[in-house]
A and B are shown apart, each in its own frame.
Chain A
């Protein structure tokens, strides 16, 4: 299995995280996203005409879009069906809802990080404000979950793709100038994600440390 990958990409990190949780081994095909902009080049557009990473190539089956890749990997490599709970319509719906939420954090929290780190041209104040609005909603959701003994975005004993999809943009948010101090439930949840067996870090993300 091959992942077209860039080490500092939050979207690639999502996929690497799930591969780790599932214990699936893979090879990284490193794309020179920065500074080379290889993902926008002609050669890479033959792999993904949209010019985005990540792209997964599983023995010839080629799939783009981080969330699509998460769905595929969980459906194929998680025999327990816990990450993508297709047998439970309500939980499945909630997973899809939080994955859509993660699309919104990508265009807000993740965009501010691209602006600060790599100089991408965004209205950073506007994106930061929008990210704060999303984080408030997520923090509140998790806070109520904690009150009823739920550790994860989608209530249930085990984490789902919702947690994988939301995690990178939250844990990397401070690089974009978004302080997580006001979101204690979100911060506690990142600590729980870090304790899932198979968890992996990326530059900017630290392993779990007991306080």
Chain B
């Protein structure tokens, strides 16, 4: 059921959601996409301006926002501002769209997998992890003053942490969840004191499907765009079958639904954070 037809106070309705990578839209293009169970039409005029409308008769125009390399829209009242990623304006960084991949999974399941370090050695073997370095060390979770969820002081041994790696390293991770369906990762750069920024922006096509938009803001001046994208698409391609085999597809928010272990601390916090905000879309409410 489309979210807009529900009796709801779900913040997902009033939030901004990505619906396309701006760089992939060309002048004069018309494209249909789906968001929260509804069909939307994107149109780019001959000056390159994007407009978005519900694919209804008559068409109902929707607000748009072009940020971080994506076109965003909102199906309700756009009362929740889009989160900030200040790093995009820092000198020496490369802001890049790594690709959009359709996945048969709910947005919160995809976010939760992105937050999980325990799977690195098994799913991203010899890249983001390797046996026997499988332990997830203790880390901290908190909610900040603007109600964003953070997991900090995470560390993990990684054979190839990034395209700029020349050797294995102990990688520091910070995860940030500023939006129910968007997650940002800050990780040690092999070549800079600052951190690489990697984000997953999920476009909730419906409750069990997403378009996964992969955003990068990297400290990497040397590798080609093709190589950087190859790295991210490899990682995401390895996650995809894992994501698609999770049942139920919607994320259960009841704390008793799935057995927690220590590595899941952030997952448990994420579920509670969704629950506390009243998110009902693409989850199984507690």
Contact = CB atoms under 8 A, between A and B. Distances in A.
Interface of B is mostly: helix
A34 B237 contact: no
A137 B244 CA distance: 27
A36 B21 CA distance: 11
Contacts of A202: 237
B99 interface: yes
Interface residues of B, number: 26
Contact of B104 (A31, A32, A36, A177): A177
Given A30-B226, A36-B226, A38-B226, A8 B237 contact: yes
B237 A118 contact: no
A34 B238 contact: no
Interface stretch (B179-187, B227-235, B260-268): B227-235
B24 interface: yes
A32 B240 CA distance: 19
B226 A32 contact: yes
Contact of B99 (A35, A38, A174): A35
Given A203-B234, A203-B236, A116 B104 contact: yes
Contacts, number: 61
Given A175-B240, A177-B104, A35 B226 contact: no
B241 A7 contact: no
B226 A118 contact: no
A7 B228 CA distance: 12
Contacts of B238: 203-204
Given A203-B236, A204-B238, A204-B241, A117 B102 contact: yes
B74 to A, nearest CB: 22
B100 A8 contact: no
B244 A8 contact: no
A7 B234 contact: yes
A7 B236 contact: no
Given A7-B233, A203-B238, A204-B241, A34 B104 contact: no
A38 B227 CA distance: 12
Interface of B: 21, 23-24, 97-102, 104, 211, 224-227, 229-230, 233-238, 240-241, 244
